[in-house]
A = this chain, B = another copy of it.
């Protein structure tokens, strides 16, 4: 039963996109998927290359510059919708909100979507509803976004299984940002810590754990996006009409620094916020607790929020969590009083790519069954 390979187009070839390409071109995936197009935000490259020249994630950039044509997303949709081997999959590994705005169109053409891009699934309800209306079970077009939350960790699939089998979600709580995990694991330890907040942020930045502008992590927006994606899978959760922007989100840019004009001014004045965080840490320590930046979906209270929380020193978020790992806890009717916990690297190109390629395998198993 040698089924034809599934056509795949990859848009976005930053760190994650390159890692996806590397996995797609390797066994065991190469026998199932046929990469027909690779693109960055400007240029697209049809494959195979002339003379079947080998493409790797290493030589991609120069080949794209040399042989690439101007990217035209409409023609990419057409390519995948009309491929002789059947409907293909578009992998949106961009960080843009332009590509997600086209998801309903792609799905309406029968093109499947796999994406680590949070912008679509955590966007306004109007877009989210249009995506749902255009995809399975309302059509044959599939959309998977496992790696939008917890990278390669099985977070969305576990939540879907819980809900799909009739469990009742009571509370989802977790440390969803690798950057903020690292910062607070260093800043607030069960055994105590004296390091300054600005120092930890600077170290995190030097280690490459933060976005170029650390405020993109410290704003909490990334966590709000993940919570929004999860909440939309929970029956009875609050409706979030503006997506992530409807999630109350505590910013870790302290009041004294909100007037910083740009990244450089913010970074140079980082120490001005130290007192603010030292006070929070001291308060927690007085209660025998540590501070963690968490996302919480509380179905009983009808709340979705991102905030600094205080946790007992023997809580899993204090003791078990290390480095820049994510930890997500599901408290449900069945998983009670103790939750179902999933922990591990929640960021990084290889594990994020894995979330996408495992989604691709799920698409494959369905459309090539």
Contacts and interface: CB of A to CB of B under 8 A. Distances in A.
Interface of A: 1, 23, 26-29, 136-137, 140, 152-154, 157-158, 161-167, 314, 316, 319-320, 322-323, 325, 334-335, 338-345, 348, 350-351, 354, 357-358, 361, 365-367, 369
A166 B314 contact: no
B335 A165 contact: no
Contacts of A320: 316, 319-320, 341
A334 B152 contact: yes
Contacts of A140: 369
B343 A29 contact: no
B154 A358 contact: no
Contact of A338 (B28, B316, B323, B366): B323
Contacts of A153: 340
A340 B157 CA distance: 15
Contacts of A23: 165-166
Contact of A166 (B28, B158, B369): B28
Given A320-B319, A344-B340, A369-B366, A166 B335 contact: no
Nearest to A3: B137
Contacts of A369: 136, 140, 366-367, 369
Contact of A164 (B28, B323, B342): B28
A343 B319 CA distance: 14
What 4 A-B pairs come out closest when comparing CB atoms? A340-B344, A161-B358, A320-B320, A165-B357
Contacts of A157: 154, 157
A154 B161 contact: yes
A361 B162 CA distance: 11
Contact of A334 (B322, B354, B366, B367): B354
A325 B345 contact: no
A26 B334 contact: no
